[in-house]
């Protein structure tokens, strides 16, 4: 059950290293704390390997990629690979520039990831850049809908098999896949897209769940994605007259803070395919 | 009417590039989302031209100017000039160092701006550095009041004509001028000054309004300034016992999120001079 | 009385320069505003001395130390020392890498600090690195409790005497010491540890209190620490069903915003040893 994953997280309190963008960095740290882990956010190359060594997991987010952070990501990623600890990649806006694409393709080759989380466009960009250029990708819509699920799921499973990572694709419907099984998750609300960094927050939480649930990657990733979506629903039910995206952000983090295994088990809305 | 400007913004959802300071970067992104646009915050020189090319407008803010961001600002600004898209300058604390002054004077020469937003001290510093050193500036008080309006307005209009940009001067009274017309705006509250980055948020919103209202720069800028001030009033009316500047920040962003053309038309408090 | 310290702060509105980490930078700026001071957050080496010169105090925080910020910290610290203005050090996670340790030891030597604020582990790391390696430190637990107070207080006093700074050690019990007197403070709540950057916010506030209370360093530091703890208690009393760490953060800053001398005098819970 997914609820056990958050219970493990709250009991184990892993230390999670996030090399993330400065837009969402404060929210990511607060979400990592809210779900039960402890955040470290350092991104300086000169001591990044020393710092990442004391951490139980790593979250790499390219939202505001810079030359020095690209260097830090590679160094930290390699060290965590060597130590056998979970590594999450969030390829924010990877399609926006060559520098982003090259950095991410290189990270996938050199580091390898336990899980990759992005929207469908980002995952398609990764898939093309890593050689999987069947006709399918080009045809894929940039939105996951009930209508195109049958087409998208096998593509994500194949990409998962190819890169050896759990793939979490978030959108109006969320998919969490390894090469064989896909969680199709229908939690969350469209209004979450009006808050900056909800994806980045989820990636920090995903690394936290993975760090606390070794050997149970697929379920841990699905639990993280359901936690975020469910928190979005709970937070929305607490919105009051005059509230907007800023209050919604606060209430989502609060809902994660108050999440427990029972609430997650009851509220998680998914099917396996 | 100003209300149309926000209706256009909500309908067109422009992509707005912000090279801004890390203090306010999260609030700027959430305000850009709140008013109906979509934010990109990248500031790495090596791919800044590629990234800014896909954006409908650019907001440059020197609040925490660094050498590499000064380079990014120049590159992005030139590219957006070439593409003919709106460019906003927020010369935060420009008078605080030679590095800031030189960077900003150079940006004004090389990039040219559609609009410049600052407080009266910053605008005076720009005016002096760009050659307009009549006796007037030196005499100008560093606060706009009902008493000195008649002296300040012609100075701002002349500066607008000189640099070819709409000038938005914010303070206890806000002025939005081109070389001929000045909106004198009496929205907002003094307590907004107790929140970090309200000016930075407004500059992100200003770029959003300009991107969605091409050819209507003066009115779009006035609409952005009125939206911020009116949001400050609406948010204040929602403050409760024990609330302070942190709650006020949240409520201001929420009020922007809920702003529509009708509310703006009713609440905007301005005269033309 | 501690209350006078905040009254002085609200009356004098000092300008406080913070070279801090990007995780907490927005919260630090809002807390500095909330307590009555005005923040400047610049960290670019090339104009840092020019900028710090106009400020009444300096707060250095190594939470996300980078090479260029280490350079800025040294330059700004030396300038403020030369100008005789208060300098605060927050050695966040100093034990996590050699780069952090070397930077901090060098800052202590070259700059000297009016006050240093950290948790007991960080203060122990500083103490060892600056030569004070009596057997005591190694024996010190990494948590201040009623049981080990008698052992810790003399150690902190000795360290204060050695580095010539007021030492503020925060944890479940807070200690604010010079070489002779120790404020033992029992304000605050454990849940404050679930918010990222509460220590960083306190350091910004500490620099603000020092800047407004020259010649009264020990009491000013104790007042800052009590203000933070008391704000945590007031904020907690305002928490509602469903609130979590994000709401708590907002309410803490709000409580600082509303703090006055009378509230502080009534709520401060301390003894002198």
Between CA C5 and CA C64 the distance in angstroms is 30
pLDDT bin (cut points 50, 70, 90) of residue A134 is very low
- CB-CB under 8 Å, A234 with C244: no
pLDDT bin (cut points 50, 70, 90) of residue A143 is confident
Counting one residue from chain A and one from chain C, the pairs whose CB atoms sit within 8 A come to: 86
What ipTM is given for this predicted complex?
Answer: 0.95
Chain C: closest CA distance from residue B261 (Å): 30
Nearest by CB to residue C97, choosing from A25, A29, A47, is A47
Q: Is B260 on the interface with A (CB under 8 A)?
A: no
Q: Is C44 on the interface with B (CB under 8 A)?
A: yes
What is residue B1's predicted lDDT score, i.e. its pLDDT?
84
- CB-CB under 8 Å, A258 with C194: no
Q: Is C42 on the interface with B (CB under 8 A)?
A: yes
Between CA C260 and CA A121 the distance in angstroms is 52
- CB-CB under 8 Å, B194 with C34: yes
From chain B, the residues in CB contact with C251 under 8 A are: 242, 246-247
- CB-CB under 8 Å, B24 with C43: no
Chain C: closest CA distance from residue B196 (Å): 6
Instruction: For chain A, give the percent of residues with pLDDT over 70.
Output: 96
What is residue C141's predicted lDDT score, i.e. its pLDDT?
67
pLDDT digits (tens, 9 = 90+) for C198-214: 999 999 999 999 999 99
Q: Tell me if B173 sits within 8 A of B145, measured CB to CB.
A: yes
Chain A: closest CA distance from residue B173 (Å): 26
Structure token pair of residue C163: 């580095």
What is residue A129's predicted lDDT score, i.e. its pLDDT?
75
What is residue C96's predicted lDDT score, i.e. its pLDDT?
93
pLDDT bin (cut points 50, 70, 90) of residue A141 is low
What's the pTM value of the predicted model, to 2 decimals?
0.97
The alpha carbons of chain C give a radius of gyration, in whole angstroms, of 17
What is residue A142's predicted lDDT score, i.e. its pLDDT?
77
Nearest by CB to residue C242, choosing from A47, A50, A238, is A238
Give chain C as a 3 state SS string: CHHHHHHHHHHHCCEEEEECCCCCHHHHHHHHHHCCCEEECCCCHHHHHHHHHCCCEEEEECCCCCHHHHHHHHHHHHHHHHHCCCEEEECCCHHHCHHHHHHHHHHHHHCCCCEEEECHHHHHHHHHHCCCCCHHHHHCCCCCCCCCHHHHHHHHHHHHHHHCCEEEECCCCEEEECCCCEEEECCCCHHHHHCCCHHHHHHHHHHHHHHHCCCCHHHHHHHHHHHHHHHHHHHHHCCCCCCCHHHHHHHHHHHHHCCCHHHHHHHCCEEEC
Chain B: closest CA distance from residue C105 (Å): 26
pLDDT bin (cut points 50, 70, 90) of residue C137 is very low
What mean pLDDT do residues A20-43 have?
A: 98
| Bridging pattern class, strands C57-61 and C87-90 | parallel
What is residue A131's predicted lDDT score, i.e. its pLDDT?
52
Question: Could you say which residues of chain B have pLDDT below 50?
Answer: 132-138
In A7-26, the residues whose Cβ lies within 8 Å of chain B are 21-24, 26
What is residue C132's predicted lDDT score, i.e. its pLDDT?
44
pLDDT digits (tens, 9 = 90+) for A186-235: 999 999 999 999 999 999 999 999 999 999 999 999 999 999 999 999 99
Structure token pair of residue A2: 């997914």
Between CA A227 and CA A35 the distance in angstroms is 9
């Amino acid at each position: 059950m997914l609820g056990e994953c958050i219970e493990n997280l709250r009991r184990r309190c892993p230390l999670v290293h996030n090399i993330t963008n400065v837009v969402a960095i404060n929210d990511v740290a607060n979400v990592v704390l809210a779900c039960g882990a402890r955040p470290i956010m350092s991104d300086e190359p000169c001591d990044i390997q020393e710092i990442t060594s004391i951490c139980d997991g790593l979250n790499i987010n390219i939202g505001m990629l810079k030359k020095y952070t690209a260097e830090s990501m590679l160094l930290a990623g390699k060290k965590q690979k060597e130590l056998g600890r979970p590594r999450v990649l969030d390829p924010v806006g990877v399609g926006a520039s060559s520098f982003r694409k090259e950095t991410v393709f290189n990270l996938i080759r050199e580091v390898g990831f336990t899980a990759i989380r992005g929207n469908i466009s980002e995952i398609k960009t990764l898939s093309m850049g890593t050689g999987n250029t069947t006709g399918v990708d080009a045809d894929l819509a940039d939105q996951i809908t009930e209508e195109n699920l049958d087409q998208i799921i096998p593509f994500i499973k194949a990409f998962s098999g190819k890169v050896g990572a759990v793939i979490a694709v978030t959108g109006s419907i969320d998919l969490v896949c390894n090469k064989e099984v896909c969680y199709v998750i229908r939690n969350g609300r469209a209004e979450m897209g009006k808050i900056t960094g909800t994806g980045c927050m989820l990636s920090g939480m995903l690394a936290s769940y993975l760090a606390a649930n070794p050997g149970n990657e697929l379920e841990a990733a699905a639990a993280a994605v359901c936690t975020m979506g469910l928190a979005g629903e709970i937070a929305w039910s607490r919105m009051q007259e005059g509230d907007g995206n800023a209050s919604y952000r606060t209430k989502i983090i609060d809902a994660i803070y108050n999440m427990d295994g029972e609430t997650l088990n009851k509220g998680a809305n998914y099917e396996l395919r």
